[in-house]
């Protein structure tokens, strides 16, 4: 049972986000104000100064005005609840400008989210409506890593004419006038503030148990590539478990659908599958395959006495996990590939001319050289080519007979037919 609500707001130079979010929860959704609640703010130095002046001043503070206007009880927000971002040297940040500042902000936010989720009796509600976009991303990602089933991630939507207005903090009960940037008067009692709940994947159960109690920053969790890879693999395993359950249900739906269509013969003749969206899982599979192949080569290699540590067949079964049928099919495929390779080596003897370069030869080829190379440079060669046993211009009886002489020039085949006289 929840004993305490914890709000964690991420803001920059717009402290209005805090009162707008609280209004959306307490007035918009009817959040139970009998449960003690704390509001915590992560911001920059300037953001902290603005929040203190506009929200927490005893008389003019908008936070106190919100509580009074809507009679909200058990809600605590003090200067001690404002947490200013610090850099790697523990210096307070006035803004996030450099890659180093971003890294420091990520670690800072991650640490606070982890801290707020240690107690199972609390419910953490994180708002990413304010601050720089990177701050909101880090808060959302941290909640993905450490969030529990009861925790929430949200954003607030404000009426367009009031959005970004420095004088608007929440919809009032009575008419109050603020002015837009075009000096247009606006009635704050007519403003609308809507809470948008953001669903997120919870990976808390996939984290190493010691990471929930140790001081673990953003870089420690997802940085340097190695931990990101481990996290991605755990994520892939989680997705794989979910996909197995989904496939079981989808199979049932498919069977019912086929049965209704009268395709009873096809009820067991289909397969459903889902891809696991993990690059690291795929890379791990490739690495495992590579290690198996290396081990297989070592196992079947000659140990010095003419024998290997195991036979090729046994190595394929025990190391590569192949079945007898797999081994048979693989050997057949390898034999076909060897035959294909031998055929490829004989290509030059089988195919004398591909015609691939005909166009280029026609434009740039040396005709005289081509004729000379083909035997047409001498009368004897010409006679051999034109005349022959099968006919031509000179037959055995010395007369003229029908025949065909084939001459090749510039890649074109010309057939010449002699005319009998």
* 35-55: average pLDDT: 95
Range of the domain at 337: 279-345
∠ CA 102-237-289, nearest 5°, is 100
* Res 101 pLDDT > 80: yes
323, 345, 367 - which closes a domain = 345
Per-residue pLDDT band for 208 (boundaries 50, 70, 90) equals: low
* 335-361: average pLDDT: 87
319, 345, 371 - which closes a domain = 345
351 domain-assigned: no
Inter-residue contact 48 to 14 (CB < 8 Å): no
* Res 373 pLDDT > 50: yes
8 domain-assigned: yes
pLDDT greater at residue 33 or residue 362: 33
Q: Are residues 105 and 67 in the same domain?
A: yes
Q: Are residues 335 and 411 in the same domain?
A: no
**Is residue 57 classed as helix, strand or coil in its secondary structure?**
coil
Q: Are residues 18 and 128 in the same domain?
A: yes
Tell me which H or E stretch contains 17.
Answer: helix 16-23
The CA distance from 195 to 23, in Å, is 9
The CA distance from 64 to 13, in Å, is 19
Q: Are residues 209 and 339 in the same domain?
A: no
For residue 372, the model assigns a pLDDT of 58
Could you tell me which residues come within 8 angstroms of residue 131 by beta carbon, excluding any fewer than 6 positions away? 10, 11, 12, 42, 43, 47
The CA distance from 83 to 41, in Å, is 6
94 domain-assigned: yes
User: How, if at all, do strands 412-417 and 152-158 pair?
Assistant: unpaired
- Which segments within 106-191 are labelled E, that is strand? 122-127, 152-158, 177-179, 185-187
Per-residue pLDDT band for 404 (boundaries 50, 70, 90) equals: very low
* Res 294 pLDDT > 70: yes
Using one digit for the tens of pLDDT, what is the confidence trace for 387-397?
444 444 444 44
* Res 150 pLDDT > 70: yes
Alpha carbons within 13 A on the beta-carbon side of 170: 28
For residue 303, the model assigns a pLDDT of 81
Give this prediction's pTM: 0.53
9 domain-assigned: yes
Tell me which H or E stretch contains 382.
Answer: helix 379-386
* Res 3 pLDDT > 80: yes
Q: Which of 392, 390, 385 minimizes the C-alpha distance to 377? A: 385
Q: Are residues 330 and 398 in the same domain?
A: no
* 4-31: average pLDDT: 94
Q: Are residues 100 and 161 in the same domain?
A: yes
Q: Which of 98, 122, 159, 157 minimizes the C-alpha distance to 1? A: 122
Using one digit for the tens of pLDDT, what is the confidence trace for 102-114?
888 988 999 999 9
* Res 148 pLDDT > 60: yes
For the ranges 139-143, 179-183, 368-372, the lowest mean pLDDT is seen at 368-372
Q: Are residues 186 and 299 in the same domain?
A: no
Q: Are residues 68 and 191 in the same domain?
A: yes
274 domain-assigned: no
294 domain-assigned: yes
Q: Are residues 193 and 158 in the same domain?
A: yes
Q: Are residues 82 and 198 in the same domain?
A: yes
Q: Are residues 31 and 87 in the same domain?
A: yes
Q: Are residues 56 and 172 in the same domain?
A: yes
173 domain-assigned: yes
350 domain-assigned: no
Counting every residue written for the chain, the total comes to 421
* 254-276: average pLDDT: 79
Structural domains of the chain, count? 4
Look up the CATH number of the domain holding residue 187.
3.40.50.10770
* Res 15 pLDDT > 90: yes
């Amino acid at each position: 049972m929840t004993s305490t609500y914890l709000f964690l707001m991420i803001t920059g130079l717009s402290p209005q986000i805090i009162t707008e979010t609280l209004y959306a929860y307490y007035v918009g959704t009817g959040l139970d104000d009998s449960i003690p609640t704390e509001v915590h703010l992560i911001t920059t130095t300037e953001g902290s100064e603005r929040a203190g002046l506009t929200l927490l001043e005893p008389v003019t503070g908008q936070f106190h005005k919100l509580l009074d206007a809507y009679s909200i009880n058990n809600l605590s927000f003090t200067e001690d609840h404002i947490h200013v971002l610090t850099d790697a040297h523990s210096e307070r940040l006035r803004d996030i400008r450099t890659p180093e500042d971003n890294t420091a902000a990520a670690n800072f936010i991650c640490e606070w989210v982890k801290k707020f989720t240690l107690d199972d009796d609390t419910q953490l509600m994180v708002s990413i409506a304010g601050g720089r976009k990177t701050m909101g991303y880090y808060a959302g990602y941290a909640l993905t890593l450490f969030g529990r089933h009861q925790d929430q991630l949200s954003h607030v939507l404000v009426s367009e004419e009031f959005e970004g207005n420095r004088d608007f903090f929440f919809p009032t009960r009575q008419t109050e006038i603020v002015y837009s940037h075009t000096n247009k008067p606006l009635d704050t009692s007519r403003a609308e503030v809507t809470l948008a709940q953001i669903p997120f994947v919870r990976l808390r159960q996939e984290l190493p148990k010691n990471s929930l109690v140790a001081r673990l920053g953003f870089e420690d969790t997802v940085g340097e590539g190695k931990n990101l890879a481990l996290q991605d693999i755990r994520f892939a395993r989680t997705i794989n478990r979910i996909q197995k359950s989904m496939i079981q249900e989808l199979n049932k739906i498919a069977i019912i659908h086929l049965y209704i269509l009268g395709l009873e013969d096809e009820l067991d003749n289909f397969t459903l599958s889902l891809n696991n969206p993990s690059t690291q899982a795929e890379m791990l599979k490739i690495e495992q395959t590579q290690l198996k192949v290396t081990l297989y080569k070592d196992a079947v290699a000659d140990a010095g006495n003419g024998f290997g540590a195991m036979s090729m067949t046994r190595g394929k079964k025990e190391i590569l996990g192949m079945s007898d049928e797999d081994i048979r099919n693989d050997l057949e495929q390898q034999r076909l590939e060897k035959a294909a390779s031998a055929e490829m080596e004989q290509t030059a003897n089988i195919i004398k001319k591909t015609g691939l370069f005909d166009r280029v030869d026609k434009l740039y080829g040396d005709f005289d050289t081509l004729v000379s190379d083909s035997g047409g440079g001498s009368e004897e060669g010409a006679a051999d080519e034109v005349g022959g046993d099968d006919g031509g211009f000179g037959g055995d009886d010395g007369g003229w007979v029908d025949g065909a002489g084939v001459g090749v020039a510039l890649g074109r085949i010309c057939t010449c037919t002699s005319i009998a006289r």
